[in-house]
Amino acid sequence: MKTKLSLLVIVAWALSITALPSVASASCSFADIHFSSDFDSGRLDGCEQTASNSYTLTLKPENTPINPSPWYAFQVTNQSETAQTITITLLSDGAPARYQPRISSDKQNWQPVPYEKDQQQMQFQVTVTDTVYVAGGEIIDTSFYPSWLAELAPTALITLGESSQGRPIHALEHRVDGSADWLVIIGRQHPPEVTGALALVHFSQLLFSDDTAMRVFRQRYNILLVPMVNPDGVAAGNWRHNANGVDLNRDWKRRSQAETQAVHAKLTAITAAGGRIRLALDFHSTWRDVFYTMTADYVTVSGEPLQQPQLVNDWLTALANELAMPIENKPSHNPNSGVFKQYIADQFGVHGVTYEVGDQTDREHIKRSAEAALTTLIKQLFPDY
């Protein structure tokens, strides 16, 4: 099927927000055009036809207050026998456009849509011949992770527990006899942060590959990989939160949610059994590529300095040299923030890093950077290699 792009979308601000405890998928039918978000990770909260080929689609957050990151993902079906060019206006409560539109006929292969935007609007064009999906990025839904993890390391697949709505929190637990050292990797605390999810996939794909260096590393290090900490939010297409309206990456101090409790229980079980967490990575997306790190001289809440204080600085310096480009390293600490990297530092006395990928970072660069990040990291974690 050929899909020709020709769709005008304007993302506008609303003046107020109504808190919604939960958001149901929307489905709207007009003469020949049908919109639906009735699929995993779909998000659309209402639709209205405003002219013969013009439609207004509304987006609302799962609850407020919220970091304004409007996610959208919907299917457009043309039920006529000829291609139609339609104009869509996306109205988003309390937030400007953030995520660049992408289009797919199968939810597997995605193409960016050329667009223009300013502070309040985004414009792009699409022509619908049959059925297409439009989303704020590639759709990586909840069904992807268990099958992908099983392909990476089928004997290491475990479930840490259940989310607030009872979805399994899938993980890989790679164990090495005679080694106490652990590398921890998590992702998808914030559902729409797709570029961070892509980086985690590339990073982990190489980590569990047959590459010689990776095989040697896996003979020395235990690995805990939790690629989707917030399955409820991913399934619902939430902007930021879990099913209870909580930002999980602000909950690591209180650990009030089932998701943070499940990960915490696993990490504390590891250390109670004599394991040593050496580093933890948390993959996210934001406006640009940046690493949020702990300050090297940080003293934890227990009064102890971080182990291997220069580990992350040395790693990111090596990464910059490998990529032959600057790497933005933003060190900070805030014991009351509730973010994962701070929790790792205070709970286990080691570095936690928030690995942020730009929303519009080139997909090939995401892959190249993630692979370079891993190859340079293992040389820091395993200097005898």
State the angle between helix axes of 363-381 and 194-207 in degrees (0 to 180), rounded to the nearest 10: 50
pLDDT for the residue numbered 34:
96
> Is 144-381 the same fold as 8-135?
no
CATH tag for 8-135 (out of 3.40.50.2300, 2.120.10.30, 3.30.360.10, 2.60.40.3120)? 2.60.40.3120
The DSSP call for residue 43 is B
CATH 1.20.1260.10 fits domain 144-381:
no
Encode pLDDT of 42-74 as tens digits: 999 999 998 999 988 888 999 999 998 999 999
Q: Which parts of the chain register pLDDT below 70?
A: 1-25, 119-121, 385
Residue 254: CB partners within 8 Å, gap ≥ 6? 338
Which of 33, 47, 56, 39 is CA-nearest to residue 127?
33
Query: Quick check: 283 and 186 in contact, CB under 8 A?
Result: yes
pLDDT for the residue numbered 385:
63
Q: Rounded to whole angstroms, how far apart are CA atoms 261 and 255?
A: 6
Encode pLDDT of 112-130 as tens digits: 988 878 766 677 788 999 9
| Dihedral sign computed on CA atoms, order 282, 310, 349, 298 | negative
What pTM value is reported for the model?
Answer: 0.92
Q: Rounded to whole angstroms, how far apart are CA atoms 62 and 238?
A: 6
Long-range contacts of 260-269 (CB under 8 A, 24+ apart): 260/229, 261/161, 262/160, 262/161, 262/162, 262/169, 263/160, 263/169, 263/186, 263/226, 263/229, 264/347, 265/160, 265/161, 266/160, 266/171, 266/224, 267/184, 267/224, 267/347, 267/348, 268/347
pLDDT for the residue numbered 92:
87
Residue 57: CB partners within 8 Å, gap ≥ 6? 35, 44, 46, 47, 72, 74, 88, 89, 90, 91
Domain boundaries, the chain: 8-135, 144-381
pLDDT for the residue numbered 18:
33
User: What is residue 134's three-state secondary structure?
Assistant: strand
